[in-house]
Structure 1
Amino acid sequence: MDPLLIVLIVVVVLAVAGGIWFYAGRNRGGEVPPEVSAHKPTSADDILLAPPQEQAPAEAETPAGPTPEAAAPATLERPESIPGRMQRLRSRLAGAGGFGRAVLAVMSRGDLTEADWEEIEDTLLTSDLGIEVTTSLMDELRTQAKVLDTSDPAAIRGVLREELLKLVDPSMDRSLNLAKPTPAAGWNSADGEPAAAVLMVGVNGTGKTTTCGKLARVLVADGRTAVMGAADTFRAAAADQLTTWGERVGVEVVRSEREGADPASVAYDATRAAARDGVDVVLVDTAGRLQNKAGLMDELGKIKRVMEKVAPVGEVLLVLDATTGQNGMRQAQVFSEAVGITGIVLTKLDGTAKGGIVVTVQRELGVPVKLVGLGEGADDLAPFDPEGFVDALLA
């Protein structure tokens, strides 16, 4: 056979065999050559059937809402007891003006000259005692100096202490009226028993909202329950601040989510909520206002009247900054005319205050200083202690 023919036959046979092998391999599910798979478009089947990539185990899905730790109630603070804070604040009252010590130092010099008496008078006048009180105290001191040996500091101190105590007047009732009031006419007893109502008033910047929160702590420390009403609706920050104070000791705060809402409405809602929940006291914080703004002062009267649709307001506490001195007197008089002040809360009664404002405000208004604040601490508010105050002035 021709050799060329033999080669041709072999080539044909090999080509046929190769084709058979190729198609047989595809039918058996053989691999597609790499160069084909590299350019093959990715299909949905390829994605679903592809082996998973190596990765960290999936974490359990976190359910919506707060985590168990966040959902757990925060531990409530335990306010300092009343006796404890009074003892602590009594020692700190020593910084509440030094006019007593200054007068004592002059009177203990011995034979007093007219210049010495003028120095005493100047000291009293610059201590916010006012002219009338200063004149009365000077007359009494001059009389006592004639019958006493002014070289004896103990005797002079005793006289001065006695006269200052008369001015501060320990006989005034400084307790808060927190007795359960008689419900207003038409009040439905099914809505609960009204709580003792306390209205907090004052000008801007006296620390009124802070004092309201601190007073809530005083009540909790005394074993009472309370609700606070955020009737300062002109400052969202005031309601937020009051809410923070309440959360710390477990006191509910009634507030409006709408800035500029009717403060009387918020006060009424708080008073009703206190009755519904059966708490002991409702504290209502109001917006600070200037005493010469008649419209704002009338609004205070409206707030009080609306609250008294549930029950009488037993306490209207005027918060005064002790450092304002005689300027605070005009504030006190106007607020007293608008809503009938029952007590004074003096804030910032520390080394920057003269101390005489305690005497003056009581004489002018005929109402007692009931609470004093001496610092920024949460428990730096306590009932006013007349004897402790006078002893601090003479320490």
Structure 2
Amino acid sequence: MIYFDNSATTKPLQEVLESFHTVSESYYGNASSVHRLGLEASRILRKAHEQAGLLLNVNPEEIIFTSGGTEGNNLAIKGIAYAYQSRGKHIITSKIEHPSVLVACEFLATQGFEITYLPVDQTGVVKVDDIKAALREDTILVSIMHVNNELGTIQPIKEIGALLSDRRYTFFHVDDVQGFGKVKLELKDNGIDLYTLSGHKIHGLKGTGLLYVKKQVRLAPLFHGGGQQFERRSGTENLPGIVSLVKAMRVVTEYHLHHAEHIQQLNNKLRLELSHFPEVVINTIEDQAPHILNFSIPGFKPEVILHALTERNIFVSTKSACSSKKPDESAVLSAIQLPRAQSTSAIRVSFSYHNNEGEVELFARVLKKILKDLKK
């Protein structure tokens, strides 16, 4: 089997599964209980906050453990909107954000908030000057992803953070679900106020994630209840999931530290292989996120190619998994103004540290045969 759909989800690491099992079996007490089992669970939860803080170079109390990227993005966007609506109701984002950002903003628009959706250039990058021009006195939030989930383009986070640095009540949220462990990003050095991460994108478990919230930032909670997690996310903590998430974060951080060039080599190898295909147009520009390569085969339905690959035990995607069941055209590729023949025939390959060059070579050979057969 060749699995090239790691931007949709990743295979959980064995050590992550083991950590989940160990905590589930041995530390099942409620962290809010005052007896021994509860105190043990509370100690492990506190340690998880500390370790996550160390990995992100932030304070432990700035970490909120969530159920994943969608909850994290919703908590960041709606939490800021409701906490600071007396200061303003204007939010800026881009047209190529994840649905959990775009739909959350669409909902807020029904609640009296005004949303500015910025375009991107033909490489898929938001222009800092466009953000500057869109800023208003009542702008309370700018939400821009770090790495795009379809194209792999890297946004100018440092420059955006610098632009917003002197605006006390304009907060900066970064969705880094696709970037963590692949493209380095320092939170404190880039003026980031809120930051989203998802476990199942980094060989962790589905249903795990976190949101970093800078200490001085107020956040209206989505959940009300017992006041867990510094009264920002009520509900009994998913301790096994939290521990497994931190384990995945630690392992993937080590991967990136020692093997960052490996994924880039796979990307370069696939680019070279695809350059020999006259039918293929590569949509992802060079020097972007190493783990994502998006290309189109105009004249061929991507679903047909995907199913042909699946029959041969090779797994890729046509676009973001969260929008793969929607109409044919990719909204992201449409936003960068690609011809419709390209934006409706795209295939996304996304690597992990566990893929190898032999898989890339086999993928290219199989794809060549599939295209040959489809032409007949």
TM class by shorter-chain length?
0.3 to 0.5
TM-score between both structures, scaled by the size of structure 1: 0.34
Max Rg structure:
1
